Structure 1
Amino acid sequence: TNAYWGENPQGTWSLTVQDIADFDTGTWNSFRAEARMGTLMAKSALDASYVSETTPTFNPGERKAVKMRFKNIGTAAWSTSQIKLKATAATTAAWGITTSPLRATTAPDGTAEFVFYATAPTAEGSYPWQFQVQGPNGLIGTASPANSIEVTGARSEFVSQTGLTATVKPGAKFNAYLTFKNTGTLGWKRADGYALRSVSPINNTTWGLSKVLFNTEVAPGASTSIRIAATAPTTPGTYTFQWAMSRTNTTVFGQPSAPVTITVAP
């Protein structure tokens, strides 16, 4: 292969075979030659590939630490004076982040971890999020995935549920109690559309209703237990019981309740 020898692949190639053993005979039945043409590519002195990141969820205006990892796939070590992590222009416009310094010298084939703080925009929405390693003469290697981060003050955490059994009779009525914690920065108010909504799929009426409103505001950091006055399907079978918080008719937010499989049988 000329990719390693640096020879010109054009022109006539000759194959020479020589018997260097004395006092023996033999028969040459066949031979095979395989030519692979190409160009040997030298490694760049400075090169990088994205590895992973630890990106938290953000409430509006919240400041949190972010960790992002890139591998040094070049031939030169990364020095703290030359290498930085740079945000794309769209990321800088949304988050105010420009560059983050390299914390320690990183040898070839080593992985560097960039740690920096990000402050979320104050308005709820979806914001661009992408970074790339920057060397002394510009950007190097591959960038992190072009993601978007949802900034919202509406967050919930599932706590517990009671009142559920493995089997119920067709059409049976029962009360289930689901507890959720408000882990966001916004209070849950009925007037703002907050409700507990069925999922798997969303807005299904498998258990006789698709949403449950609550009468009192749930402040940030507080938990609430919501009663679901459920009615089992009339058709025997196996059904899923699962709910999540919502503030619109078509979407839910936060952590849903643990799915429970209930068998409806006579």
Structure 2
Amino acid sequence: MPKKFIWGLVACGTFLLLVIGLGLATQLNRDRSSHVMTQQRRPLIMVAGSNSTKTDFDAIIKSLTAQHPHPVVNVTVTADQQVKVQSKRVKNTALNDTLIVIFFEDSTDSNANIVKQTDGLAKALTTIKRQLHLKTANALGYSNGGLIWSRYVANLAASTPVKIHDLMLLGTPFRGTDAQHPDNQLYQPLMTHRNAFKSLHAVVNVAGDTSHGDDNVVPLTSVTAGGKLFMNGQTRYTQMTVNLKNISHGTLLQERYVARLVRQNLVNQ
């Protein structure tokens, strides 16, 4: 075989390797700049609503950890307001990558218990702040969990030691679940203290709609009442509706679209 031909093959092979290497480097750089690999800026703390279980956020956690490893901290607030913390560490991850789930043993659906849970949330965050040196976080509240977070940010708890940066609410019944007879017992104190919400950087308020004006439990009007609380000229407020024929209040946390919203608005912010 002529030497010129052999050297030609070597040159072509070298050129192809350079092109492939450059392509891989470019793709890796793109991946690092995409939402999948963006470094999380602060932990995400999740609170569910009434009659909740410890597994309510499992679908969202599974979706988030499928693309990036996250330490998970499970916090239980007992019926007598004691705080228990269990953490699952992941090698080479930082505090900001942490997903924190706060579970209330007593999540009875009543206004009085939501007030009690708000104080329980304050105690849980005080404990987390001490143990994990937590200073700021993003927050996700599902159903009445959104009311608990709103009360906490509005300084209606015993103490507020952790600054919440971004807040997402899913199916939160700000004015109860009866569209004909709105419940303002918890809503009016939030309106009175709505100036406290100016401390938030952004709020995303998500409602489910079966096309009948509710998610089979919470009316759209009850969810959208949150706009009067958070549209204050300083906080970035986004209100959206997930329209699906078969959606229900109980399945909001299992919707893939909701998991994407959590990633985009809370994990990558």
Q: Could you say which TM-score interval applies, normalised by the shorter chain? A: under 0.3
TM-score in terms of structure 2 length:
0.27
TM-score in terms of structure 1 length:
0.27
Give 1 or 2: higher helix fraction.
2
Report the structure number with the largest CA radius of gyration.
1
Higher RCO (C-alpha under 8 Å, 6+ residues apart): 2
Give 1 or 2: higher strand fraction.
1
